[in-house]
């Protein structure tokens, strides 16, 4: 997987759509993680682990070794309006340009 510093992406690209089975114009946006549910099973389990004496069960991450984050592109087909995701690239900064 390539490690690059900054990368600019065009607003629209012509690429293969697996639903239309041909190359179509796609609008490009960068994937962002949604808000986590407060009472999901993982959150409830973690809350149970943290209860009582000796709460935190594993060390909290203070300094991360990584200096980049994976930027996943969301491509929306202009013909069928379905979205596909591109495999994440490690980038310091991902931008959408004109």
List interacting residues with Zn ion (CB under 5 A): 17, 19-20, 77, 79-80
Length reported for the chain? 98
Query: Based on the number of CB atoms within 10 Å of its own CB, is 58 exposed (0-12), middle (13-18) or buried (19 or more)?
Result: exposed
For the bound state, the minimum distance from the C-beta of residue 22 to Zn ion, rounded and expressed in Å, comes to: 8
- For Zn ion, the closer of residues 79 and 95 by Cβ is 79
- For Zn ion, the closer of residues 19 and 37 by Cβ is 19
- For Zn ion, the closer of residues 11 and 82 by Cβ is 82
For the bound state, the minimum distance from the C-beta of residue 28 to Zn ion, rounded and expressed in Å, comes to: 14
For the bound state, the minimum distance from the C-beta of residue 23 to Zn ion, rounded and expressed in Å, comes to: 10
What residue spans of the chain are helical by DSSP H? Answer: 41-50
Strands of the 3-10 sheet, one edge to the other: 3-10, 89-97, 69-71
């Amino acid at each position: 997987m390539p490690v690059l510093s900054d990368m600019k992406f065009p607003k629209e690209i012509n690429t293969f759509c697996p639903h239309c089975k041909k190359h179509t114009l796609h609008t490009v946006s960068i994937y962002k993680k949604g808000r986590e549910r407060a009472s999901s099973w993982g959150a409830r389990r973690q809350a149970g682990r943290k209860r009582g004496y000796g709460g935190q069960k594993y060390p909290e991450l203070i300094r991360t070794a990584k200096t980049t984050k994976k930027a996943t592109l969301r491509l929306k087909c202009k013909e069928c309006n379905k979205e596909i995701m591109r495999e994440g690239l490690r980038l310091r900064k991902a931008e959408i340009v004109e």
